[in-house]
Amino acid sequence: MSSKTLKYILKRIAMAILTIWIVITVTFFVMRAVPGGPFLSEKAVSEAAQKALEAKYGMDKPLMVQYFTYLKDIVTKFDFGPSIKLRGRMVIDVIIDGMRTSVKLGVCAAAIALVFGVVLGAVAALRRNGFADKVIMVLTTAFISMPSFIIGSLMVLILSVKLGWFPANGETAKGLILPVIALSLSPMANITRLTRSSMLDVLGQDYIRTARAKGVPPMKIIFGHALKNSLIPVITYVGPMLAYIVTGSLVIEQVFAVPGIGRAFVSSITGRDYPLIMGTTIVLATLIVIMNLVSDILYKLVDPRINLE
Amino acid sequence: MKKNPLSLQVDMEDFLPATDAEKEYMVQMRPSTTFFKDGMKRLLRNKVATVSMIIIIVITLAAIIIPYFWPYSYDTMLGVRPGKPVDASFNNLAPFQYGKTELKRIEAGEKVFPHVFGTDSAGRDYFIRVVYGTRVSLGVGFFASLIVLVIGITMGSIAGYCGGKVDMFIMRLVDIIYSLPDTLMIILLASVMKVALGPVIDNNPVLNKLGSNMISLFIVFALLYWVSMARQIRGQILSLKEQEYVLAARSTGAKAGWIITKHLIPNCISVIIISTALQIPSAIFTESFLSYLGLGVNAPMPSLGSLASEALNGLTSYPYRMVIPAITISLIVLSLNLFGDGLRDAFDPKLKS
């Protein structure tokens, strides 16, 4: 690793930390700017009760003090405070609970998207303008143009309501099959197109011709030379893909009633559970920022020629 | 007359008036094509892009025109009439079926306009709701892109042209906004602005009609989505401003504003057209996503996302209510994407991958 690469990595890490800090700050002040505060509810609360609640959640102190306490608790203890609507539960527990299911969902979706995307993209590139290529391109174009909640709802409609093959409810292991597929289709389509175009690019390179001229068996050319090099651009997509999967799971978990962090987030919005909204936003945002960071660094390490500045 | 080859005496024959044959050379064989015409020609040769363009035009015209002559409106609950109990027979009608009072009128020989897609659970004509939803989705996509366009061009051209500290500052800002997870930030801002902007919007009749959610959506777009446009414009301007014609303009005393608006931005037009065209479907996507989460347009105004979201509750009994908005939104986004790709190929062949 050259010192230039190291400098780049350090700079990216600093940028990521800055971003996370901005997310925390924006989230905090935006939430505190809401008129009426988090205790604004349908029931009228007496002055004394309001004061007591504010004291309990530490909201009677000056804003900056609250901010630094919040920041300190997050950094040192991963403590996002108690949830307002879910009585007696800490925000971090709700998040960890949700994460158990969501991580399974997200990792499976990402794995499927990567494997099938690369395979389909390679097939499409090798059979350029052939039947398989055309079918793959039409399908991927369709998947890219459909919002994930539409794909999910149509899958519920056809596969569980009409045909009854899968449960529409995502609470069991079998019930996770449909949400995983619904979540993976759009990133898979993107990876397919990315692999196809970069594979076509690589197949036109001189070193492939050289390998062919030397009599290297076609399979070895495809796997040893072409595919390996055409995967480099795919690495850049891994970060955005994971971001897509994280946000996509917000609606997909809603559609399939998966008890994950996405559903907790959406219900915290409708229930105006401000500490929970803040906590989930910060955790999910941190996740996305870290994944983008890893994907960028990997890209730089795999191909140091690339200048990402 | 023989001349000394080194003589500097002017040869008068070079200054004779041109003959007719020589004048022919100057006649234009073919009118010169403009940038726009040339691009359109290439665009129309692309069948996929042309078909997508026609689909977009048809859908847009339908969404604008149909509500003017359709006998039902998107928020009228047909079963509800002043002074009478609610007529539940109008709720959840299947396509081409009629409510009780309408059946009586048909028996009496009257003609009743059919409910092409039936009605929803509150007895509202579903067809007109889909048309209105399409109108809202297209409108949001268009205006959000317009906002992004204006801010992106302004920031990008200032950063690119001024350079130095201004450029540094704007680009750091772009970097930071770029690395923020946009969807999460949108949800956060939309959910808060709905509450925060409430009183301001209620007092203003124009804003009130739009609804707090819609306005917060536009604000969020204005805050977060201009960055990629600004980046592209900046890159373009950085390379353009080194061109000789900019130097010429500057040396004749042109001011920065003039150079940017008259020389630089017109030359970025292909980048602008293409990224605007591709911004619209992404805005529609975001709007439908937010509507689906209940953070989109205010009820009773429908959007394609909120229609799909409402249909999820009655999915078993009324699957078509899910399928219709789903197909519409997919068709719109698909055509816009394909059209955008076509535009890119037509107006900037260099970018073609």
Question: Residue A81 has what pLDDT?
Answer: 76
List the one residue out of B214, B225, B226 whose CA is nearest residue B190.
B214
List the one residue out of B305, B299, B293, B272 whose CA is nearest residue B137.
B305
Tell me how close the Cα of B34 comes to any Cα of chain A, in angstroms: 32
Question: Residue B353 has what pLDDT?
Answer: 42
Q: What is the tens place of the pLDDT at every residue in B128-142?
A: 888 888 988 888 888
Q: Which of B192, B292, B326 sits opposite A251 (nearest CB)?
A: B292
Highest mean pLDDT among A40-44, B87-91, B264-268: B264-268
B289 and A243: CB-CB below 8 Å? Answer: no
Is the pLDDT score of B22 beyond 50? Answer: yes
Give A37's pLDDT tier (boundaries 50, 70, 90). Answer: low
CA-nearest residue to A153 within chain B is B312
ipTM above 0.85, yes or no: no
Is the pLDDT score of A260 beyond 60? Answer: yes
CA-nearest residue to A144 within chain B is B334
How open is the CA angle A40-B292-B276, to the nearest 5 degrees? 110
In this structure, what are the phi and psi dihedrals at residue B77, rounded to the nearest 5 degrees? -90, 110
State mean pLDDT over B296-300.
Answer: 73
Is the pLDDT score of A309 beyond 50? Answer: no
Q: What is the mean pLDDT of chain B?
A: 80
Mean pLDDT is lowest, of A228-237, B28-37, B145-154, for: B28-37
Is the pLDDT score of B349 beyond 60? Answer: no
How open is the CA angle A192-A258-B298, to the nearest 5 degrees? 90
Question: Residue B341 has what pLDDT?
Answer: 82
Q: What is the tens place of the pLDDT at every residue in A217-241?
A: 888 888 888 888 888 888 888 888 8
User: Of all residues in chain B, what percent carry a pLDDT higher than 90?
Assistant: 4
B291's enclosing H/E stretch is helix B269-292
Highest mean pLDDT among A19-28, B23-32, B100-109: A19-28
Specify the 3-state DSSP secondary structure of B256: helix
CA distance A155 to B326: 12
Is the pLDDT score of B200 beyond 50? Answer: yes
A34 and B311: CB-CB below 8 Å? Answer: no
Distance of CA A180 to the CA centre of its chain: 13
Threshold 0.80, pTM exceeds: no
CA-nearest residue to B312 within chain A is A153
Is the pLDDT score of B125 beyond 50? Answer: yes
Contact between B325 and B133 (Cβ < 8 Å): yes
| Contact residues, chain B, for A8 at CB < 8 Å | none
Tell me how close the Cα of A243 comes to any Cα of chain B, in angstroms: 7
Give A118's pLDDT tier (boundaries 50, 70, 90). Answer: very high
Tell me how close the Cα of A276 comes to any Cα of chain B, in angstroms: 12
Give B184's pLDDT tier (boundaries 50, 70, 90). Answer: confident
List the one residue out of B78, B67, B73 whose CA is nearest residue B105.
B78
At B245, the amino acid letter reads: Y
Where are the extended beta strands (E) located within B102-147? Answer: none
Chain A contact for B293, CB < 8 A? yes
Question: Residue B55 has what pLDDT?
Answer: 92
| Contact residues, chain A, for B195 at CB < 8 Å | 34-36, 40, 272
CB pairs A-B closer than 8 Å: 122
